[in-house]
Amino acid sequence: MNGPALAIAAQVRAGEVSARTVAEAALARIAARGPEVNAFTAVLAERAIAAADAVDGRIAAGKDPGPLAGVPYAVKNLFDLAGIPTRAGSRIRRDAAPATHDAFLVRRMDAAGAICLGALNMDEFAYGFTTENSHDGPCRNPHDLTRIAGGSSGGSGVAVAAGLVPLSLGTDTNGSIRVPASLNGIFGMKPTYGRLSRHGSFPFVHSLDHTGPFARSVADLAAAYDALQGIDAEDDHQAPQPPEPVTPLLGAGLAGLRVARLGGWFGRMQSEAARRAVAAVAEGLGAAAEVEWAMAEASRSAAFIITASEGGALHLPTLRTRLEEYEPLIQDRLLAGALIPAAWVLQAQRVRARARDAMRALITGWDILLAPATPVPATPIGQETLTLDGVELPLRPTMGLFTQPISNIGVPVLTVPVQQAEGAMPIGVQLIGKSWTEGLLFRAAAALEAAGLCAAPVPPAFAEGAV
């Protein structure tokens, strides 16, 4: 049983296939092909079969099984799943008490009839852009197993790109949905800050953390995003914004949409693949104008300080007693972050506010701004640097070159995979909107997909039997 999420749901709802059959097929594929990409850190077969049987039971009783009836999905392993520890990609939390309740977004997916198959690999404590996890091993890009998956939601991106599940959930603090979406060639949604609940997900940076879905098509992404919306009384950081479904808007086309490209910071330091991708999307959306957000570099610098400071403060008690159990890639950054002077953090927050105001003024005349999602396609696992515009840069932070400034101001971003020449590695483009205008981003993405400009490529080695 394979196909897009909405096709699976339609067949299950119509009684053409049982949810149990779908779940068993997905579990079999994960067992057979999952180890090649190392996306899963926990497979919950018993839970999945029980949930599938419950969906089939609702259908047999004549009840509505939900819009995502029988659709397999999986979550980044910092979302709580009742009965297992929430590892957050770490060694330290493997001995934590099992979660007693599912995260709010997991409950939303389950209420829509979707079937959770397990937890997914990630950068430790979400502090990274490559998912080269020292404890669980590197997550591998299904388009080339020698290359990175992106991060920190690398497993979430890979599981969908490799056809192990049609939907997944991730988080995005500085680009952790957008980077894996770009490098794995799938669609990813980082909503407006505060749109979706974070309750039941292990935090990284309270003032920057977002949650959101991945999918292989715009319609599937919209269905997941719509299912996830809802006010969570237990999340103090969620905005009191009523749900605004985007699925009804997918066929609205481009009429009236004002789109421009971001230049300046977003026009430099990138590969030709990234330039071509932005140019193709700009042409498809009729974006002839280029505008510049003068605060982009300053916003990224502020995000670095805020991330390090909040992350370091969160982990300081554990750093004092179990430092050696943190992976080497984040030990020094967390320690340094915990020691950042308060004056620096206050100044970073002031810069952040000015950057947000500058973006609000800039985007007043536009509905969508375009920017690269990553400066380059996926690089080899273990590579430490890359050269852009003749400058050698550290690879890991540079993967967030174009996502981090946007995260800092909390506006919504939908990442689309741009069609590439056969055999080329995928790369994506960010569609950036005003706060609470996710529907416009979905409209544009659907139009690009309908025109054949944006689509999720199937990795040749994983084509057979993909969901």
Q: Which two three-digit tokens encode residue 148?
A: 């990175």
Rama region for 253: left / alpha / beta (φ>0; ψ in -120 to 50; rest): left
Active site residue 176: yes
Label residues 218-228 b or e (16+ Cβ within 10 Å = b): bbbbbbbbbbb
Q: What's the start-to-end Cα distance of the chain, in Å?
A: 7
DSSP string, 247-314: GGGTTS-STT--EEEE-GGGGSS--HHHHHHHHHHHHHTT---EE--TTHHHHHHHHHHHHHHHHHHH
Residues 6+ apart with CB under 8 A from 317: none
Whose tokens are 């105001």? That residue is 357
Place of tokens 């009523």: 242
- Tokens found for residue 158: 């890979």
Q: Are 315 and 88 in contact (CB under 8 A)?
A: no
Taking each helix axis from N to C terminus, what angle separates 104-111 and 218-228, rounded to the nearest 10 degrees?
A: 110
Catalytic residue among 18, 156, 168, 176: 176
Amino acid present at 321: T
Q: Which of 82, 60, 85, 56 is nearest to 69 (CA)?
A: 56
Catalytic: which of 152, 168, 407, 435? Answer: 152
Q: Is 91 exposed, middle or buried (0-12, 13-18, 19+ CB in 10 A)?
A: middle
278 neighbors 260 (Cβ within 8 angstroms): no
Q: Is 76 a catalytic residue?
A: yes
Please name the residue that has the structure tokens 């599912």. 102
Q: Residue 47, class by beta-carbon neighbours within 10 Å (0-12 exposed, 13-18 middle, 19+ buried)?
A: buried
Given a contact cutoff of 8 angstroms between Cβ atoms, the answer to whether 16 and 70 are in contact is no
Q: What residues are labeled active site? A: 76, 152, 176
